[in-house]
A = this chain, B = another copy of it.
Amino acid sequence: MEMLKPLHVLHDSLNKPVLVSMKGGKEYRGVLDGYDQHMNLVLKNAEEIINSEPKGVYNVVIVRGDNVIYISPP
């Protein structure tokens, strides 16, 4: 069962705030609204943070999993 753990933890994070760290130094803080097996993510009310500075807020962002380094649930 631990073999499915990464997606299970994503599942348990649905509708909760998460921090997503991306390649290239970007971060997003938002509510996890969906995901798929590639770790493509849908975030709601997502704040974009570049080098620790807030850059803007998006109602909805579809993040390509390819660029994700880690996801931290609350």
A residues in contact (CB < 8 Å) with B: 2-11, 14, 22-24, 26, 33-37, 39-42, 58-74
What are 20 sample pairs from A and B whose C-beta atoms fall under 8 A apart? A2-B34, A2-B35, A4-B34, A5-B33, A5-B34, A5-B35, A6-B36, A9-B42, A9-B60, A22-B69, A23-B67, A39-B40, A59-B72, A59-B73, A59-B74, A60-B72, A61-B72, A62-B70, A62-B73, A66-B66
For the complex, would chain A's binding face be called helix, strand, loop or mixed by DSSP majority? mixed
Say yes or no: A61 contacts B67, CB within 8 Å: no
The CA of A41 and the CA of B20, in the complex, are separated in Å by 15
CB distance from A6 to the nearest CB of B (A): 4
